[in-house]
């Protein structure tokens, strides 16, 4: 009886062990199946996004998204509320907006300013994320501690003009002891100081006036000369005011246009310089395919004719890359001049300011 009992118990134990092993095997098979299904699902999702592990690696190199609203400042005011150049064309045609949408930016708010110093104040205060302006105010601001980074130098042939009043000074030497209206802190400020230094004129008075105020003061005879640019300057010359000089004959006194972004914004959107420059370059490609339309666009901005717009702002002046060697040399020369003249507070290396 005992032997029979032990045999029964042994049989039961074997059946239990077999059932236990079978259960464990079944659980493992189920888990493996689930794992395979999950893996296949992940592969499918990765494939839809453009690849599995390769796509995942590529995504780490894709520029990140920024805040959905971008605040952009530029110099000038006009009925179209856009600047000129590739930036203005791209914004006017919607090319840049379409590119920025890929990175979560759904709105670009544009603000025009009468001059560079006013724009840099808004940039420093945080009202702007970035802006395009003349090199001189941008350098002066950075040398004074503004937390900005240089991301583009779009033009390197900005010409300042020196316009004298009617029946007034006929040469630069005639400005000895005279009063000249400038826009303080602008690239024209740098131009006139450098020009008078070259000509040996040491006794003069500079007064800060925006272009409309300077134009009116010159017409009244309250000042002897003023600095001006582009179409407004050519208009004055056509009206009989004296063309005393312009920077086209002084290569080292030419101005350049730069785009700077606040460090605060760049912490939110580190890839912004790359995104912006690629969008700008795409706009430039389109601009070159529609030259006549572009010059009409400039004419609308400047309330002038396409012919005059072409004379003042030829497409050939627009840079197709963020930086050029010649442009950076000009920028460094401008910076050195501003330091020597104590117009900029502190010296620095352009390469430390530049962000590529």
Across 327-336, average pLDDT: 95
Residue 132 lies in a domain: yes
Residue 61 lies in a domain: no
CB-count exposure of residue 4 (10 Å: 0-12, 13-18, 19+): exposed
What is the tens place of the pLDDT at every residue in 235-284? 999 999 999 999 999 999 999 999 999 999 999 999 999 999 999 999 99
* 189 and 225 assigned to the same domain: yes
* 347 and 259 assigned to the same domain: yes
Region for residue 269 given its phi and psi (left: phi exceeds 0; alpha: psi -120 to 50; beta: otherwise): beta
pTM for this prediction: 0.79
Residue 4 lies in a domain: no
Low-confidence winner among 4-18, 46-60, 133-147 (lowest mean pLDDT): 46-60
Look up the CATH number of the domain holding residue 232: 3.40.190.10
- What does the mean pLDDT of the chain come to? 86
Per the CB < 8 A criterion, the answer to whether 289 and 92 are in contact is no
What is the tens place of the pLDDT at every residue in 177-190? 999 999 998 999 99
pLDDT of 169 above 70: yes
* 169 and 231 assigned to the same domain: yes
pLDDT of 52 above 60: no
* 128 and 266 assigned to the same domain: yes
Domain limits for position 261: 69-159+254-353
* 124 and 187 assigned to the same domain: no
Last residue within a domain, chosen from 250, 281, 303: 250
Across 144-165, average pLDDT: 96
Please tell me the distance from the alpha carbon of residue 115 to that of residue 85, in angstroms, as a whole number. Answer: 17
Residue 21 lies in a domain: no
Residue 292 lies in a domain: yes
pLDDT of 3 above 90: no
Tokens 């609203």 belong to residue: 69
What is the tens place of the pLDDT at every residue in 78-127? 889 999 999 999 999 999 999 999 999 999 999 999 999 999 999 999 99
pLDDT of 24 above 90: no
pLDDT of 155 above 60: yes
pLDDT of 326 above 70: yes
DSSP 23-85: HHHHHHHHHHHHHHHHHHHHHHHHHHHT-SHHHHHHHHHSPPP--SEEEEEEE---TT---SH
pLDDT of 25 above 80: no
So what's the pLDDT on residue 63? 63
* 213 and 258 assigned to the same domain: no
Total domains, the chain: 2
pLDDT of 31 above 90: no
The widest CA-to-CA distance across the chain, in whole angstroms, is 140
* 216 and 270 assigned to the same domain: no
* Tokens encoding 314: 């030829």
* 151 and 185 assigned to the same domain: no
Confidence of residue 314 (pLDDT cuts 50, 70, 90): very high
Residue 237 lies in a domain: yes
* 105 and 221 assigned to the same domain: no
Confidence of residue 219 (pLDDT cuts 50, 70, 90): very high
């Amino acid at each position: 009886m005992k032997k029979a009992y032990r045999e029964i118990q042994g049989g039961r134990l074997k059946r239990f062990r077999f059932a236990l092993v079978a259960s464990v095997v079944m659980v493992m098979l189920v888990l493996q199946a689930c794992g395979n299904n999950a893996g296949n699902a992940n592969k499918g999702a990765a494939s839809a996004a453009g690849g599995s592990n390769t796509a995942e690696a590529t995504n780490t190199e894709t520029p990140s998204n920024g805040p959905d609203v971008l605040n952009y400042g530029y110099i000038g005011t006009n009925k179209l509320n856009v600047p000129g150049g590739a930036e203005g064309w791209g914004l006017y045609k919607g090319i840049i907006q379409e590119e920025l949408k890929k990175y979560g930016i759904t709105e670009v708010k544009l603000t025009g300013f009468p001059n560079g110093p006013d724009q840099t104040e808004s940039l420093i205060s945080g009202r702007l994320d970035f802006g395009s302006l003349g090199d001189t105010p941008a350098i002066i601001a950075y040398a004074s501690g503004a937390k900005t980074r240089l991301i583009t130098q779009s033009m390197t042939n900005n010409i300042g003009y020196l316009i004298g009043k009617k029946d007034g000074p006929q040469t630069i030497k005639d400005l000895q002891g005279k009063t000249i209206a400038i826009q303080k802190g602008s690239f024209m400020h740098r131009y006139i100081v450098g020009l008078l230094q070259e000509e040996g004129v040491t006794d003069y008075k500079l007064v800060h006036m925006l272009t409309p105020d300077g134009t009116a003061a010159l017409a009244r005879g309250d000042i002897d000369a003023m600095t001006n640019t582009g179409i407004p300057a050519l208009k004055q010359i056509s009206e009989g005011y004296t063309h005393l000089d312009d920077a086209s004959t002084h290569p080292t006194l030419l101005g350049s246009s730069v785009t700077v972004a606040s460090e605060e914004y760049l912490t939110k959107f580190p890839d912004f310089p790359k995104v912006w420059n690629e969008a700008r370059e795409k706009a430039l490609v389109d601009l070159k395919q529609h030259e006549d339309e572009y010059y009409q666009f400039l004419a609308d901005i400047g309330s002038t004719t396409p012919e005059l717009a072409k004379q003042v702002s030829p497409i050939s002046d627009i840079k197709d890359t963020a930086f050029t060697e010649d442009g950076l040399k000009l920028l460094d020369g401008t910076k050195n001049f501003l330091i020597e003249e104590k117009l900029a507070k502190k010296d620095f290396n352009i390469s430390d300011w530049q962000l590529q």
